[in-house]
Structures are given as C-alpha cells and as structure tokens.
Amino acid sequence: MWPSRAYWRHFALLYALLTMLFVVVFGGADWITRHHSVRIHAFWAFELSIPLVPWMVVPYMTMYVVFLLAPFLLRDKRELNRLGLALAQVILVSGVAFLALPAELGFPPAIAPGSVWEPWLRLADRLNLDFDLIPSLHVALFATCAGVYSSRVTPWARALLGVWLALVTASTVLTHQHHLIDAATGLALGAWGARSALQARQVMPGPRARLDWRKLEEMP
C-alpha cells in the first residue's frame, strides 16, 4: 500500500528536521575545528597505500537516499519517529566526537583527473568537509537505517542490505574520504543507533486495557 499523504507530510517534516540538525552539527563541528590548530592523525602508515577506486563513489553517494526508503518499510509513525530519534542521537554523538577528536585526513584530495567519476569525487569531497572524520557519520547513519530496516524485510532483502552496507563502508576508505578507524567507529555507532531504535519499539506499551463495568457488577 502506498503511504498516505499525511504520512508523507510527517516524513517530510522529520526529514527536514534531521537535515537541519545534520547541517548544524556537521558543519558547525568542522567550522570550529577549522579555527584552531589541534589535529590528530588517526591512521596507520599502511593505509596511505590503499588505492583510490573512483567508481566506489557510486555506493558512497547512495547514503544520501537510504532514509528515503523509510516510508515504504516503516508504515507506523511511531516506528518512523523512533528511527528519526535514533538518527538524531547518532548525529549528536558524532558531533561531540568530532570536537573531542579533531582529525586530519592522510590521503591527498581524491580527484581522478579526466575520469568520468571526477565530478562525483569532487562533490563527495565537498560534502564530506575536512575534519569530521571520527566516526564516519556517513557509515553511522547508513548502518542505523539498515539495522532498523532489517527487522522489516525478508531474509533476501536483509542480505542485500548487508551487502549495501558493506559497499558503503568500504567506499568511505576506497574513495579516500575516511580512514579505517573512522569506518569502524561509524559501524559501531550505527549498530548502537539501530539497537536503540529497535529496543524502543519493544518496550512501547500496548493498548490500554478497558475496564468492563458490567463484569465488575457480576462479581459476587
């Protein structure tokens, strides 16, 4: 069944609020870090030999559409709200981490001059900003959505979500936007976000029991 107009309006409002929170936290943390000189290099030397794989920008960019699946998989507003709250928590925790661990990328700019992927790599580089690296919010947001969706789909679809998540996670390193520790901490944060949303669903109270006065009157 296609979601109702009211449901789409609710989703659009939630999407707008999350987008604003993302822009403020992600952009604000990068702006603050840009204005001081404290930086850490959170990567191993061998990572700098990891090759740039330009076509991996395709799965990398799909992170920006994964939340759009929510209205088709989560048909209850409460489930949608719980996912939204989990994503907001992930964004806020990431913002704290960005300020506490202001990291610097070890890779040179990912360009691939003359390649068909060059414009997309440049766009990815602009969207990723410069210093918001640990954890990879890219991975964390995707993993949160994928974890919640997995509870609502068939085993085959769950396997596809797992492959998609693996590609997105690998793409953050193979497009030279993140290092291994960024991807790993992003996965951990995303797993926490998904678990938070799913646990909230499990503890939601059921419908209130109605008091039947007729039965009370029949009691001796």
Q: 135-186: per-residue pLDDT in tens?
A: 999 999 999 999 999 999 999 999 999 999 999 999 999 999 999 999 999 9
Q: What is the mean pLDDT of the chain?
A: 90
Phi, psi of 40 (to 5 degrees): -120, 150
**In this structure, which amino acid lies at residue 138?**
H
CA distance 78 to 15: 15
pLDDT digits (tens, 9 = 90+) for 24-78: 999 999 999 999 989 999 999 999 999 999 999 999 999 999 999 999 999 889 9
DSSP state of 53: -
- Give how far Cα 58 sits from Cα of 90, 123, 152, 163, Å: 24, 12, 25, 14
CA distance 187 to 166: 10
* pLDDT reading at 204 higher than 70: no
Q: Give CA torsion, residues 159, 160, 161, 167, to 10 deg.
A: 110
CB 118 within 8 A of CB 161: no
Q: Which residues of 187-203 are buried (b: 16+ CB within 10 A; e: fewer)?
A: bebbebbbebbbebeee
CA distance 61 to 103: 22
Token pair belonging to 182? 């960024």
Measured from the Cβ of residue 97, the count of other Cβ atoms closer than 10 Å reads 20
CA distance 88 to 101: 20
At 202, the pLDDT band (50, 70, 90 cuts) reads low
Q: Give the pLDDT mean for 96-114.
A: 92
At 10, the pLDDT band (50, 70, 90 cuts) reads very high
* pLDDT reading at 211 higher than 70: no
Q: Could you tell me which residues are beta bridge partners of residue 103?
A: 40
CB 68 within 8 A of CB 127: no
CA distance 150 to 197: 12
Return the pLDDT at 201: 67
Return the pLDDT at 215: 45
Residue closest to 69 by CA, chosen among 161, 133, 136: 161
Q: Give the pLDDT mean for 176-202.
A: 94
